[in-house]
């Protein structure tokens, strides 16, 4: 019985955080073409790849490119140098330097 209450309490907290995060979103514009990644870890891995001679490559963790001038909703700006954006209804991590 306590597990059920604990699980429902955690679910309520998760939903509250999600609702408050989307309420704080601000409009933004992509300033240079960028790859969008599915998580902060994937964005970090892409950054490491981009330092190699071959450069960063599109893969399953960074499956789309967002063109310069595209409108996005900026949900948060991470301390690690990434912004969490909503683009076409999905959440993505992109480089902070490429979002105005």
The model's pTM is 0.70
Domain containing 53: what range?
26-98
Q: Cα(63)–Cα(13) distance, rounded to whole angstroms?
A: 30
Whether 21 is covered by a domain: the verdict is no
SS3 letters across 4-58:
HHHHHHHHHHHHHHHHHHHHCCEEEEECCCEEEECCHHHHHHHHHHHCCCCCCCC
Instruction: Give φ, ψ of 71 to 5 degrees.
Output: -85, 135
Whether 7 is covered by a domain: the verdict is no
Q: Which residues of the chain have pLDDT under 70?
A: 1-23
The candidate with the shortest Cα–Cα distance to 36, out of 51, 22, 88, is: 88
Whether 39 is covered by a domain: the verdict is yes
Structural domain total, the chain: 1
């Amino acid at each position: 019985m306590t597990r059920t209450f604990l699980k429902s309490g955690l679910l309520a907290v998760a939903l509250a955080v999600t609702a408050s995060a989307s309420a704080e979103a601000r409009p933004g514009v992509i300033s240079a073409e960028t790859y969008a990644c599915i998580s902060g870890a994937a964005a970090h891995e892409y950054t490491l790849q981009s330092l190699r001679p071959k450069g960063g490559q599109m893969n399953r963790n960074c499956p789309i490119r967002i063109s310069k001038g595209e409108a996005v909703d900026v949900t948060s700006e991470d301390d690690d140098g990434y912004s969490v954006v909503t683009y076409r209804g999905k959440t993505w991590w992109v480089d902070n330097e490429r979002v105005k």
